[in-house]
Chains A and B, each alone.
Chain A
Amino acid sequence: MNATVARLVAVRLGTTLLTLLVVSVAIFAITELLPGDVAEIVLGQSATPEAVAGLRAALHLDQPAYWRYLQWLAGLVAGNPGRSLVNSDSVGALIGSRLPNSLLLASVTAAVSVPVALTLGITTAMTRGSAYDRAVSVLTVAIVSVPEFFVATVAVLIFAVKLRWLPALSYASDIRGIGHFFRTFAMPVVSLSCVVVAQMVRMTRAAVIDALRSSYVEMAILKGARPARIVLAHALPNAVGPIANAIALSLSYLLGGVIIIEIIFNYPGLAKLMVDAVSTRDMPLVQACAMIFCLAYLLLVTIADLCAILSNPRLRYR
C-alpha cells in the first residue's frame, strides 16, 4: 500500500467516523423533538407533578440537551447505553441477548446468498440477452420492486404450504441438534436471501458486463479465446473490485430486510427488539438499536468504497 492509497483510505475512514457522529446527533435530536417529554409519557396523564419532576431528575431531563447528548454518547462508547424505560433492564444486556441471534441470521444469509448471487450474476453476464438472462432479470426486477414481506409470504407458501419441505413458522429459542438448527433457520434465511440475492445479481451482472465492454476483452475475442476463458481469465480479475463493492452494498439491504423477516418469523433478534421498543416508546433502547443498525450500514458502505479504492491497480502502482 503506497501513500496515495493510504491517504484515500484514511480520508474514507475519517468520513465514516464523522458521518457516524452526525447520525448520532440526528438520532438524539429527533427523540428530543418530541412534544412533552419522556417523563410525562412514561407516567401517563394521571401522574402528579411531583412524580413527573422526580422522574425527570432521575432521567437527568432537567439538564441541558447538549450535556445529555454528551453523556449518552460517552455511555454508548463505553458500552453502557442506559436503562430501558419500560422494565429498567440495562439496555446493554437486552441488546447483548439479541445481537448474536441477528448476527447469526445475517451471516448465514450472507454465506448462502453470496455464492448463489455471484454464480447467477456472472452466468447471466456471460449469456447476455439469452432467454436465461432475461428470465433472471425479470425475476430479480420483480423481487426488487415488491415489499420484503411479500417475498417472505410467497416463500412460505411455496416451501412450507405447497411443497411441505420446511415448517412455516419456527422459533429459535430452543434449538436441539444440528438438524433442528437447519429446519429453524431455513425459512427466514431463504426469504431473506431472495431479497438480497436479487439486488446482488443485478449489481454483479452490471459489474461483469462493464468489464466485458473493455478493449482488452475485445482483443481476447478477436484472438479467438473461448467465451468461458474470456470471462474467467480476462474480465473477472478486473471486475473483482466492482463485484466486492456490489456485494457489500447489497448486504446493506440485509438491514432493511432483517426487520421484516424477524417480525414475520417471530425471530428473537435485534430488529424485533427495536420494533417492540418503538411500539412501547422505549427511547434509550430505540436510540441504541438505531445506532447499531446505522453503524452496520455505514460499515458496509465503507467496506464497499474501500474495496473500490484498494482494487484499483492504477492507484496501487502510482
Chain B
Amino acid sequence: MTMRDEIDPASATPLLPDQQSRRRPRMALPGLVGLAVVAFWLIVALIGPRLAPYEVGNIVDTDVFGAMSDRFLLGTDYLGRDMLSRILYGARYTIGVALAATVLACLAGTTLGMAAAAAGGWTDALMSRAIDALISIPGKMFALVVISAFGSSIPVLIIIAAVIYTPGSYRITRSLAVNVNAMDFVQVARARGERTLYIVREEILPNVVGPVLADIGLRFVYVVLLLSGLSFLGLGIQPPNADWGSLVRENIGGLGEGAPAVIMPALAIATLTIAVNLLIDNLPSRHRAGPES
C-alpha cells in the first residue's frame, strides 16, 4: 500500500478558458531527460523482442550470474540466460500491463467522478462513501486477497490495479468537476435544458482534462510499483513470462555477489518511474494541476 498519497484536491483548481495562456513555456532540462527515458522505454516495449540478441528462454552460457561482457551486455541470469534479452522482453509486461491498468483506472475514475459531480445529492454522497471504504483497504492487501481467490493472470492483475487506483482518480476528478459544475456556463447549459450526459461531455470534461492527464502519469508510477512488487513476491506475471519485478525475484540469489542480473531489472524499473516523475513535474504549465497554472 505504498505511495497512495494523492494530489491534494484543494490545490488542483480547474483551468478556466481565460486562464489558459496561449504561449507554451519550454520544458526544463530534467523534464526533457524524463521525456527521453520514457520514450526510450516505450519504444523498447514496442520493438524490444526484435532488438534482443538472444532468444528469451534460451540458456546461452554455462556461467550463471555472469558479469557484464561483450557477448552478454548485461550479464547472465541464474540459469545462464542473456539478461539484456530478458529485460527487453520484460518491458512489454511491465509497461503494457501497467498502461492498460492505468488507462482503465483513469477512465473509470474520471467517468464516475464527473457523473457524481453532475448528479449531486445523494448519488454523489453514496458514491463518495463507497469510494472512501475502498480506499481504507491498503492496496497490496487488496491485491493479495484477490490473487489468493482468483489466482494470478494478466487480466486479473490489470483489474486489481485498476480497482485500487480508481478511487484516487475519482476523488481528483470529482473535486475538480464540483467546482466546474458551479460555474455560470454549466448553469446556463442546465437552464437551456441540456441533459446530464451533454453537460458532462461538453461542459465539464474539457475543463478537467488537463489535471486528469497529469494525474495519469502519477498513477502509472503507482501501478508500476504495485505490479512489480507483486511480481517480486511471485504473485504477479507468471513464468515462463517475466516482467522486471519477476526478473529481480528469480535472480535474488545473486544479490550477495552483486550480480548484474539482479541489479539491472531493478534499475530498469527505477529509471522508468523516476523518468515519469521528472516528466510530469516539468510538464508545460498548461497541463499541470496547480495554482500557478
Taking Cβ atoms with an 8 Å cutoff, the residues of A that contact B are 19, 22-23, 26-27, 30-31, 33-35, 141-142, 144-150, 153-154, 156-157, 160-162, 168-169, 195, 252-253, 255-257, 259-260, 263-264, 274-275, 277-279, 281-283, 286-287, 290, 293-294, 297-298, 301
Contact = CB atoms under 8 A, between A and B. Distances in A.
Contacts, number: 144
Contacts of B256: 156, 160-161, 168-169
B280 to A, nearest CB: 11
B90 to A, nearest CB: 14
Contacts of A157: 255, 258, 263
Interface string B256-285: 111000110011011001100100000000
B3 interface: yes
A109 B133 CA distance: 29
A30 B149 contact: yes
Given A141-B277, A290-B145, A259 B140 contact: yes
A278 B147 contact: yes
Contact of A142 (B134, B139, B229, B274): B274
Contacts of A275: 144, 233-235
B266 A147 contact: yes
Contact of A150 (B137, B147, B151, B269): B269
B258 A290 contact: no
Given A161-B256, A256-B1, A149 B248 contact: yes
A138 B151 CA distance: 38
Contact of A26 (B137, B225, B248, B274): B137
A160 B255 CA distance: 10
Interface residues of B, number: 44
B245 interface: yes
Contact of B229 (A33, A149, A274): A149
B19 interface: no
Given A34-B150, A149-B229, A168-B256, 17 more contacts: A19-B133, A35-B150, A145-B225, A153-B266, A161-B258, A162-B258, A169-B255, A256-B140, A259-B233, A263-B233, A264-B252, A275-B234, A278-B147, A286-B145, A290-B141, A294-B138, A301-B136
Contacts of A26: 133-134, 137
Contact of B149 (A23, A33, A146): A33
A231 B166 CA distance: 40
A81 to B, nearest CB: 14
B87 to A, nearest CB: 14
Contacts of B140: 255-256, 259
Contact of A31 (B148, B229, B255, B269): B148
B269 A279 contact: no
Contact of A278 (B133, B235, B257): B235
Nearest to B281: A141
A146 to B, nearest CB: 4
Contacts of B248: 149-150, 153
Interface in B221-269: 221, 225, 228-229, 232-235, 245, 248, 252, 255-258, 262-263, 266-267, 269
